[in-house]
Each structure stands twice: as structure tokens, then as C-alpha cells.
Amino acid sequence: MAGGPRKIRLWDPLLRGFHWSLAFFVILSWCLGQFGPAKMTLHFWSGYAITGLLIFRLVWGFVGPAPARFSHFLRGPGAIRDYASHMFLRQPSYWPGHNPLGALSVIAMLAVLAAQVTTGLISDPDDYINVGPLAKYVASSTRSTAVGLHELGANLILLLVVLHIAMILFYRYWKHEDLVTPMLTGEKELPEEIARAIGGDRPTPEGERTGR
Amino acid sequence: MRLILTAAAIAALPLTVLAQDDDPIHQAVEARHGFYQMLAINMGTLAGMAKGDIAYDEAAASTAAANIEALTKYNLPSLFIEGSESGKAEDSAAKPDIWANLDDFRAKFAGLGEAATGASEAVKGGAENVGPVVGKLGEACKACHDKYREKS
């Protein structure tokens, strides 16, 4: 068998739906917060949508298909160091999923978004039109601290999103590896021997069925 | 002798308290907080009625709105004296940007005055008339808070 490329199924449809919905609502929330109308009803609803998406991702991280599971992509410091050490090689990583370093970014993104949702829910900026629905359950000093943290969180999210896009460009142009297509189609092209080494997964109809 | 010294020390105690009370910066910050507190109490009444948390009462709504109208006629920016910004004055949440943009800061406060104009009449006639007034006032609150209030 030649080492030709073979497509493996990587990201399941729900995970892809989650990813692009999250991207959409995070950008929407951020822009509404920054440039939106003073009455932030839409920002609130967009935030609720993100809350739902985060809950889904948390659950999916335990019960979803292997590439979506935390246990599958969260690795120890050794694996992270190992991955980082040849990250700058000008060749594709062919990593079937979140690589050990990227996994940290996934966790950072989810944690910052969860914190952002929390501070948003309890924020009270003292304008009587945009009061977080859970603000009344916390102390008034917490309510106003939350406003400051929510603003800090928006900056952190911007930073993480910029890093995310920068890394995609780095993989695309430095490592010649396309990370976007797999997130759109769910399929990633791997050399035959790598695909086989990782268990082959289910080959797609246009792939070689015999590989199973 | 010791008695006299002790007596003098005790007698001097209120002076240190007085000294803080006399400090114009401390006074200005206190006065600002009192101002916002009065604003908050009346805004709370209107916002509560708009949301239905408080039963609508035309007289109470109109009084709260009239109080806000009156408060916004006070020259609040005059309380933002030099040296009363956060970091310099205790308890102050006033961003130093205020003093770099005094005209804009005054315009923001004038914006609150405009939003309040006619509020005591506008809130009459039913709970559904309170929401738009709260919306206008809240927008003016937010415009200034976003730019000039320190987020702790």
C-alpha cells in the first residue's frame, strides 16, 4: 500500500456546529458590548446562547466522540513539551485532533468564556437598564467588581481569539497544514501510515473502504 | 502633669476627625456619593416600577422623577475638583480622564439633564410610561460610567 493521503473522520457534526456557533456568538457579543446600543438586550441573549454552548461543550467533553473528549486531548507536561519542541518544523503536524499545546488553548478559551458569562450574569453597571439577571443574588460590591472583570474578560477573549487565528495562519503558511477545512467538513487528510497508526477510524465513502 | 497631657490628647482627638471633615476633597467625594445615592434611590423606584417589581403608583413615580429632574439641575461637575480622582482621593471612582476631558464630562452630565427633562410628567398615566423614561436616563448613566467611572 502506498503512503497516499487518506481522509479520516475527525470532528463530529455537533462539535462543528458548536465551534461555528460559538465563534458567531462570541464575535456578536463582543461587538455588541463594544459598539452596540446602550440597552444591551441583544448582548444578553447572545451571552445566554454562549452559556448554552459552553454547557454543551462541557458535557460533550465527557460523552462525545474521542476527539472531542477532554481525556483524549488533555496531556501531561511531557507531551506538551515534546509537541512544542518540534512545533516549528516546516511540516504538517498531522495531529488527529487537538494537539497537546492546542489543548491548553481550548481550556483557556472555555475557562475565560465561562468566567465571562459568570461575571456578565452578576454585573450591575448602575445604569438601571443593563442589570445582570443574577446580580440581585450577590453583594453590591461584587456586582460592581464583576463589571470590571467583565471588561477585563473581553480583552482576554480578544487576545485568545487573535492567538487562535494567528496559530491557524501559522499552521497554514508555516507548517502547510489546513486546520479550517476539517472544522468545516469534519474530515482531515492524513498520510496512509499515520491514519492506520491511529486506528484508521472510519474511512469516508470516497476513501478506501478496504482500510477498515 | 500626666493628667493634663492625657486631657490635651483626648481634647485633640476630635481635631483629627475635623481635619478630614474640613478637607474639601474629602467633602467633594462624600457629596458626590450622596448625590449618586439620591439618584439611585429614585432611579430604583422608577426601574422597579418599569420592571413590575414595584406596583405602579402615579404619585410616587412622578415624585421620584421630579427628584431626578431636580438633582440633575445641581451643578454636579463642580464637585469634581482637582485632586479628587481615584488613586488620589479615598473612595473616589472618578477616572483621571475626567480632568483631561472636562468639556465632554460636563456634556455627559448635561445629557442626563436632558434625559430627565419632563420626566415627572412623562411617567404619569401608567406603568408602561415608566420604561421609556428609565431607558433614556439609563442610557445617560451608562454613557458617563463607561468613560469616566473606575471599574473596581
Tell me the per-residue pLDDT of B58-109, one tens digit each, with 9 for 90 and over: 999 999 999 999 999 999 999 999 999 999 999 999 999 999 999 999 999 9
Instruction: Name the superfamily (CATH) of residues A5-206.
Output: Transmembrane di-heme cytochromes, Chain C (1.20.950.20)
CB-based contact, B141 to chain A, within 8 Å: yes
Which residue from B117, B102, B109 is spatially nearest to B32, judged by alpha carbons?
B109
Return the pLDDT at A211. 38
Domains of chain B: 24-148 (1.20.120.10)
The residue ranges of every structural domain in chain A are 5-206
The cell for B10 is 483626648
CB-based contact, A21 to chain B, within 8 Å: no
Are the beta carbons of A38 and B134 separated by less than 8 Å? no
Distance CA A116, CA A132 (A): 12
- Model pLDDT for residues A127-158, shown as the tens digit of each residue: 999 999 999 999 988 998 999 999 999 999 99
Q: Give the pLDDT band (50/70/90) at residue B17.
A: low
Distance CA B130, CA A84 (A): 59
Return the pLDDT at A187. 93
Mean pLDDT, rounded, for B33-49: 96
pLDDT tens for chain A, residues 1 to 212: 445 788 889 999 999 999 999 999 999 999 999 999 999 999 999 999 999 999 999 999 999 999 999 999 999 999 999 999 989 999 999 898 999 999 999 999 999 999 999 999 999 999 999 999 999 999 988 998 999 999 999 999 999 999 999 999 999 999 999 999 999 999 998 888 888 777 644 444 444 433 33
Return the pLDDT at A204. 45
The DSSP H or E segment spanning A6 is strand A5-9
Q: Which residues pair with A9 in a beta bridge?
A: A187
Three-class SS of residue B8? Answer: helix
Is B64 part of any known ligand binding site? no
Residue B151 pLDDT > 90? no
- Model pLDDT for residues B109-141, shown as the tens digit of each residue: 999 999 999 999 999 999 999 999 999 999 999
Q: Which residues of A touch B137 (CB under 8 A)?
A: 128
Distance CA B21, CA B17 (A): 6
Angle of CA points B110, A120, A32, to nearest 5°: 60
Q: What is B52-99 written as a DSSP string? A: TSS---HHHHHHHHHHHHHHHHS-GGGG--TT-SBTTBTT--B-THHH
CB-based contact, B130 to chain A, within 8 Å: no
- ipTM associated with this complex: 0.75
Distance CA A113, CA A105 (A): 12
Report chain B's terminal Cα–Cα distance, integer Å.
Answer: 50
